[in-house]
Amino acid sequence: MNAVSPICLTDLAPALRWGKPDDISDILCHDRLVDGWWHSLPLPRVLDIAGPTWLSHCLARLSIERWDHLSLGEFMPTLRELAVDMDEIAEPVRGTVLATAGGWDQLVAATPAAMRDWGCPEGCGVLDVVSTAMWRAVHPFTRDSDGGPAPSPALIVEAVRTIANWMPESAPEHVHNALAYLTEATGADKTDGYEDPPQSPATRAIRTLRALRANREEENPTAPSPAAPPVELPQRTRSPLLGPGRTLRRPAFGPPKALRGEIANEAAAERPPLRLGEHPLVDLLDHFFRSWEELERTVAAERLFAAEPISIRVLSEQVQADLSQIRNAQRSVEERLLHWLSSPQGEPITKHLGDISEQLGTATTIDHLISAHTDHPVEIPSLGTPLWRVIITLFTDRRLHNGWLVAGDPNRLRWQTRQLLSGQPDFTEAGLRLAKLGIRPQSLRAWLLSTPGVSIRDGYVMVDESVTLAAPIPTAATAGHASAPVQPPVGTTAGGLPIRRRTTVPATVDSQPGVASSPRCFRAPDGRWWHRVDVTADHLNGAPVTVPPGYATHLGLQPGRLLCLTAPGADLLVLVWRDQPAFDSLRPLLRRLSAHPGDRVFITVNGDRLDARRLAATDLSDHGPTSRALHLIGYTAPASTDEALEIIARRISEDETVQTNPAHLLDLLGQRGDDDIVAELRPTLYATH
């Protein structure tokens, strides 16, 4: 039944009942709504006429301008009943709430007056945050059921006003009509009584970073066997405003593209030139990048140090270069940066990375990074990129997670945080305890409030044990493990993939086993070799993924070198041979495949392109040992014991000459290191042979 809800706005916001009508009507007046509509008109009807963006924006203004002494939960009681996951909030509001309030519940319990003292990032003000909360309150009364992320109505209004300010008179009539519709629907033509502070270009850069997400998430079908040929599927159309999980990015509102070059030139002419020596780190990197070719600098700016790296195909269209030229430039950029950072010339940057890493601790926000050094917000002239963007890319000991730069596994760090807060310590004592984890004083309050179940009351830190937080899964020590030692930061690859100096002299290529002797490597009938990756939670968080030396050698990689590979969706993956060969991170690929811990992903490389197939984790308890063994090589079809032995023997051989003698096969698998396959086969082979 589609009955219209009789609820009026005063039922949703009781403060309107005792407010002065003139104060309310100044904000809630609408040309298509009757006077005093908030007392009588059903809320769904109001939303049909005026729209949720306009109403949410108006309610935020009322809360801030008229009732800033009331918490959001008192002004809009339904907010207390909403269970909101922060992943459902669009950037940059999401990052701002995490870094200030700590979470949704803390936001609802706060007053707008208190929010003004939070020190919100310049790219996202109190109005942006409160209007997002109001949107969540009114959204259940709309006819929208797409379940999309909660936008900020204040930002939508800003976007419409920006378009209106820059719309040329020569634009087609239907464009003007569309703008008029948006202006009326959002109320963007009305002047707000409350305005956030003006925003500078640096603010817009920070605002853009709020949309930083390691990778794009798009569905990709999986095949049961890695031997199956890859199937090219058309990718769905993707809006530039959509990020991972189809969450909204914060748009960088600005002039039309046709005018941006002209305005940029005018701004550059007005900007005083940097004085040599005033910003030594910027001078050093600028001197380094000026020696590069123009295409290399473009690749560095658009892919290596960009907040949201663009694909190789898009970049090739923009600069009118072949894909091979872009890939070659990418390899050159990676290797030149690697060698420079390892040289005496790059030592000041390497030392700065170490100093800043120590200063920021194991968990920090982007804003703390930007303000950690006077050179960080300064733009590198030859690159057109601020120094902090370069620094965040060069970090090897931390990953961006929910608005936080975290060293190691963020889930493990939050679990350890709660373990150290037992006994309700006061705020000072909590800081001393968390100092053992590397949490610095400047990040302490925000980190506590962003940890599930943790709150601060009357100067004491409380842990609500009813809020579950899964204990971290014990894993072997890796660079992604919170307690594992971190190598000195030396550099990184595109999109934040770390480059580290080799700490030991690797074995020579000639002494490495071949791919047929390498564990978890299997040859498909078409001759391609596939390598199995057993997905863990650390891998999904960006931890390195080691590969057997024999497989790396098969791909043409040499010790001390790196190999840039293009994965499905034009994502860049880097295989580096330091003390052992490893992918710096497979997170972009794993996210694209919708992988989960326990899944098996099989990868193969042809030239500089990487293909992958996911074999989802399934309950194999009702399968026989040979079936489980075949599953480990990516083969899922039923087979008898003898057929299974022949299939496995062929998959680990260089040619068609195979021996299916059970004892010989078990010995061969054991020599390769495939102990899991041996464990499945040995009982049944001894029983049947």
∠ CA 167-171-172, rounded to 5°: 140
Q: Which two tokens stand for residue 653?
A: 């051989």
Which pLDDT score is estimated for 392? Answer: 84
Name the residue ranges covered by the structural domains of the chain.
9-157, 278-409+472-501, 410-463, 504-615, 625-688
Q: Which CATH superfamily is domain 504-615 in?
A: DNA-binding pseudobarrel domain (2.40.330.10)
399-401 sheet: strands from edge to edge: 363-365, 404-406, 399-401
Average pLDDT, integer, range 552-581: 82
689 vs 276 pLDDT, higher one: 276
- Residue 227 scores a pLDDT above 50: no
Burial of 329 by CB count in 10 Å (0-12 exposed, 13-18 middle, 19+ buried)? buried
Q: Which of 383-387, 638-642, 664-668, 683-687 has the lowest mean pLDDT?
A: 683-687
Closest CA to 288 of 326, 328, 327, 333: 333
Q: Which of 48-52, 87-91, 116-120, 214-218 has the lowest mean pLDDT?
A: 214-218
* Pairwise CA distance, residues 479 & 543, whole Å: 6
- Residue 204 scores a pLDDT above 70: no
**508-519: per-residue pLDDT in tens?**
444 567 899 999
Length of the chain: 689
Q: Which of 183-187, 217-221, 447-451 has the lowest mean pLDDT?
A: 217-221
Which pLDDT score is estimated for 389? Answer: 86
Collapsed DSSP state (helix, strand, coil) of residue 311 = coil
**169-196: per-residue pLDDT in tens?**
777 777 777 777 677 667 777 656 554 4
471 vs 661 pLDDT, higher one: 661
Which pLDDT score is estimated for 151? Answer: 65
* Pairwise CA distance, residues 500 & 492, whole Å: 7
> In the structure, what pLDDT confidence band is assigned to residue 275 with cuts at 50, 70 and 90?
low
**391-447: per-residue pLDDT in tens?**
888 886 677 777 788 887 788 888 899 989 988 899 999 999 999 999 999 889 889
- Residue 240 scores a pLDDT above 50: no
**43-97: per-residue pLDDT in tens?**
888 888 888 888 999 999 999 999 999 999 999 999 988 888 777 787 778 878 8
Encoded amino acid at 217, one letter? E
Provide the strand spans (E) within 211-302.
none
Distances, alpha carbon 180 to alpha carbons 160, 177, 450, in Å: 10, 5, 41
Which pLDDT score is estimated for 492? Answer: 42
Which pLDDT score is estimated for 405? Answer: 84
Q: At what angle do helices 126-138 and 153-166 cross, to 10 degrees?
A: 110
Closest CA to 461 of 422, 424, 433, 413: 424
Average confidence score pLDDT of the chain? 76
Number of other residues whose CB lies within 10 A of the CB of residue 320: 7
**29-47: per-residue pLDDT in tens?**
887 788 888 888 888 888 8
Which pLDDT score is estimated for 228? Answer: 35
532 vs 215 pLDDT, higher one: 532
- Give CA torsion, residues 386, 392, 394, 399, to 10 deg: -160
Which pLDDT score is estimated for 67? Answer: 92
- Check: CB of residue 446 under 8 Å from CB of residue 365: yes
- Residue 235 scores a pLDDT above 50: no
Q: Which two tokens stand for residue 285?
A: 């990197």
Average pLDDT, integer, range 548-568: 85
Which pLDDT score is estimated for 578? Answer: 76
